[in-house]
Amino acid sequence: MASVAQPLLLQTCAVFRTQRRGTQAQVPSTSGRARTPSRALLPGGQSITVHGRFAPRRRSDGRLGHPTVRSVNGSVLAVEEGGSEDEGELPAEELGGSYAVTMPPTPMNGVRTDLSEIDLATLVEADSVYNHELSWMSFNWRVLAMSLNHTVPVYERLRFLAITAKNLDEFFAKRVGGLKRQQAAGVANLVSKKREYLRTPSRQLELIAEACEAFVRQQTETLMDDVLPELRNMGIHLYNYYELEDEDRTQLREWFVNEVEPLLTPLAIDPGHPFPYLTSLAVNMAIVLKDPEDPDQSKSLLSIVNLPPSMQRWVKLPDNKETGRRNAFVPLEHVVIYNLDRLFGGMEIQSVNCFRATRNADVVRNEEEAEDLLEMMTDEVRERRFAPFVRLEVNENISEELVMTLTTKLNLTASDVYYMRGPLGVGDLFSLPVEFGMDSHLMYKHWAPLTHISLAAIKQKREIFKIIRTQDILVHHPYQSFATSTQLLVEAAATDPKVVAIKCTLYRTSSDSPIIDALIKAAEHGVQVAVLVELKARFDEARNVGFANKLEDAGCNVAYGLVGLKTHCKTTLVIRQEAPNILRTYCHIGTGNYNPSTAAVYTDYGLLTCDPDLGKDVMDLFKYLTGYHRQQRFRRLLVAPTSMRQTYMALIDQEIRNAQAGMHAEVTCKVNGIDDPVVTSKLYEASQAGVKVNLIVRGICRVRPKVPGFSDNIRIVSVIGRFLEHHRVVRYENGGNPKYFIGSADWMTRNLMRRVEVATPILDKNLQKEVDMVLQACMNDAHSWEMQADGRYVQTVNSIMLKTIETFGEAGEIADDTLQDEDDLPERATQVGVQMALMECYKLQRKKHKKKSRKASQVVRRTKRRGKRTFSAERSSDGGETRPGRHAGSMDDITYFSDTN
C-alpha cells in the first residue's frame, strides 16, 4: 500500500484553499460567523491551521444592507451590498451617492492612455492605442465585474466567473495560439519592416502574460474570498476533501473503487514510457513518488494521471437530513488524490500537483489547394487534437523542478506557465449540478420567452404564412420566443404541402437542433432543401461536419461555403406555391444563429418578411453561395464582402454632408466589436464634422472617444448583463428620415471583408420605432460601461439604481407593472438597465394584447348573438328568404387566424 511522505504537498491541489505561498490557510466558514481556528488533518498526519471568514452581505431580515464600494489598489472595483470591516472597502456615502467603477482597475501596460498629442494615423492604427488582445482583456474585466457586484445573485456571480474562465481558455487557444504561430514563422522581421508602431508577436505575448496574471489573480481572489464563502452561507458547499467526515470519506472510497479506479491509467514517465498524450484543457495530476526498495533514495519517479473525461468534475455528496446538507460537492481530483494508494501500491507518494495544458486552436488551412472542404475540415479537427501547447496552468506551490520537467515535455517556456492559487479550470463550475428552486438570492428569476403578440393566436403551424403575408414581424430574442417564431417558420415549411423549396444557412446550432430535424423532415416530404453548412465555424467544426453528413444522408443539397470566406449570415428562404402561377417567398433574416440554446441567452433580432424584393435578394444570395453567381449589388440587402462596408461608409458620408449643411446628423451602431481601420477613420471624420456618433460595443473597440480634435462627438458604451448582447443594428439619421439595418456583421475587418454577411433594412415604421427605442435604452442603460479617452471603461452607479435595488429586493427579480408605457423604455433603462426594462416592456405588451384580445372576443360573441337574432327576424318577415344581418359587416375588422393555407 502506498505511504505518504513528509513534507506532503497534497494541499497544493486542494482547490478551495485560499492561502498564498508562505501564508496561513483560510477556509470559508459554513455559517455567517467567523469560525474558531481548528486543525485540519491531512493524510500522513500533517495538519494546517484553518480559519473561517465571512463578511455579511445582507441584513438579518434578508434585505440588502448598507452599500459599500470595494476597491483594490485605490481603484474602485464594485459596489457591494452589506457592511464589512474588510480592508479596502469604503462607505458609499463618502463618495456622494454616485460611484464610478473602473475596469480594468489599473491601466494595462502597453495601452497608451495619454492621447493629447497624437496624429490620426497613429490614433487609428498604432498597437499602443488599440491592440486586439488587450482590448479583449478589457472586455473580460467587465464580465468579471459582474461577479464582483453583490447586487447580482450569488450563483449568477459564480456563472460569470466561469464565463470569464471559459473566455480566457478560448482566448489562449485562438489568439495566443495565433501569435505563437506568427512568432515561430518569423513574423517579427516583417512587422519591424512594415510599420514602426506595430508590435512583434513576442512583445504582444509579453504584454498578454502580464495582463493575464493580474486578471487571474483578481478572478481567483473573487472566487475564493468572496463568491464561495457566500455560496456556503446560502447552502451550497464546495468542500476540500480534508473537511469531510469519516463517513463521507468511506462512501467516496467505495465509489472510487467501483466507479473511478477502472477508468484511471497511471502513466509512468521514464526512458521506457514516453510522455503521455494530454487533452487540451483537461485536468491532470503529476505524482512524484519514491520506491522504498530502491537503494538510490535520492531518485524520484514521475507519473501522470488524467481525470476521466467521461466523468463529472464535481462529485455530489449524499444529502444529510440531520444536518440539512443538500448541495455539497467535492472535486473529482480530490477523490482521486486521496485514493492514490490504490494506483501506486508499494510506492511512497512525495507530492501531487494538478496541472492543465492548453493546445493551439489556430490551425493553418489552405482552402485553395483543398480538393474536398469537408475532408479538409475533418483533418483539421483531428490535427487540432495534437496541436502544440500554448499555456500551462499549475498549482502555485509546485516545485520548480517539476515545472521545468513539464515545460520541457510540452515545449513551453517559463513565460507560458501560470501559477494558480485557486482551482484549475474555473470554467468547469458551469457544470456544477446544483439543485435548488428559483431563489432570487441565488439566481436570476426565471425568464420564459414570450410569443410575439402577432403570432400568439396561431393554432396550426401553417397559419404563420398568412400572418407574415400581412405584415413584417421583428422578433427579439430572448425576450420573445425562438420556438414560436423562427423555429416555427421552418417547422411549418417542413410539413406544408404548398412549400416547394427551403434554403437555409447554418453557422452554429445546437447538437439536438430542431432546425436540422425540420430540414430533414422537409426533404423526406419531397421538398427541395438546400443548406449552406459553414464547416469553418471555430470550435464547432466537428459538430457541423456531423450535421452536413446527416443532412446529405436525408437527401438535402448541402454546400460547405466559399473558398477563402466564412459564411456567417443568418438567412432562411421558404418558397411556396400559392396558386398555379404564383410562387411567394418568405424570409427570415437575423442577427443570431439558428440555435435554440443561444436564443435563450443571446439578444438577437430576426425579421420575418414576405417582401418580394428581399425574397429576390435572398434567392440571389443562395445562387452565390451554392453555385457560380456573382452579384455586386442587391435590391435591398447589404452583403459582405461585396457591398456592405461601402454602403455603410457612403451613408456616414451622407451624415457628414448633412452636418456640414447645418442639419442634425447622427449615427448609432450596436455591434459586438469594432476593429476595422477604415470604419474607425470614417467615424473620426464624422465626429470632426459634427456628426453625433453613438456606439454600443460589447467587446473589443478600436475607436477611442473624447479625444480632443478627433472624437469629441463620439460616445461608446458597453452593455454587460444576464443576457449576452449580440444583435447588430445600425441607424442613420438621414436628414430626418432615418434608415435602420439589422444584420450578422460586426464592424470588424474579418466580417466586412473576409466573410459572407447580410444586413437587411427595416422598412416598417412601427418596427423602426421599436428598434429606435431599444437603441436609446442601450445608450441610457444604468449598468452600462462607458469608454473613456484612456481606453478604460467606467460604470456609474447612481442613487436611482440603489433605490431601485432596495425597492425590488433583488437584481434577479422582474418587477410586474413597473413600466406603464412602452414609450418610457429608454427612461426605465436609466433605472434598472435595458435588459430588465425590456422584460418589463414585453410583459406589458403581452398584458395589453391579452386585454385587447378579450375585448375582441366579447365583440365577436355579441356579434354572433345579434346576427342570429337578426337572421331569425328577417327570415320570418320575408317569408323565409335569407339576407345578411345588419351586423354581418362588423366582423371585417376582427382578425382571425384560421387560414389553413
Residues belonging to the active site: 568
How do strand 528-533 and strand 557-559 relate by DSSP bridges?
Answer: parallel
CA 627 to chain centre: 34
How do strand 582-590 and strand 602-609 relate by DSSP bridges?
Answer: antiparallel
Query: Count of CB atoms within 10 A of residue 796's CB?
Result: 14
Q: Is residue 256 within 8 Å of residue 339, measured between CB atoms?
A: yes
The cell for 652 is: 456616414
Nearest Cα residue to 784 out of 103, 18, 35: 103
The cell for 374 is: 469537408
The cell for 307 is: 481525470
- CA-CA distance, 753 to 507, in Å (whole number)? 17
Long-range CB pairs of 537-543 (<8 Å, 24+ gap) are: 537/507, 537/508, 537/566, 538/174, 538/361, 539/170, 539/361, 540/508, 541/377, 541/380, 541/381, 542/381, 543/511
Residues 6+ apart with CB under 8 A from 129: 111, 112, 115, 118, 122, 123, 704, 791
Query: Count of CB atoms within 10 A of residue 828's CB?
Result: 24
Q: Is 818 helix (H, G, I), strand (E, B) or coil?
A: coil
- CA-CA distance, 713 to 687, in Å (whole number)? 5
- CA-CA distance, 798 to 339, in Å (whole number)? 53
The cell for 219 is: 478572478
Strands (E), 621-691: 638-640, 666-671
Q: Is residue 698 within 8 Å of residue 673, measured between CB atoms?
A: yes
DSSP conformation class of 200: P
- CA-CA distance, 638 to 569, in Å (whole number)? 11
- CA-CA distance, 614 to 586, in Å (whole number)? 9
The cell for 787 is: 469608454
Q: Is residue 129 within 8 Å of residue 123, measured between CB atoms?
A: yes
In Å, what is the CA distance from 272 to each residue of 277, 301, 533? 15, 13, 46
Task: Say what the alpha-carbon torsion angle 610, 616, 620, 623 is, to the nearest 10 degrees.
Answer: 70
Q: Is residue 340 within 8 Å of residue 409, measured between CB atoms?
A: no
User: Given the C-alpha cell 472510497, which residue does it identify?
Assistant: 253
- From its phi and psi, is residue 281 left (phi > 0), alpha (psi between -120 and 50) or beta? left
- CA-CA distance, 733 to 320, in Å (whole number)? 63
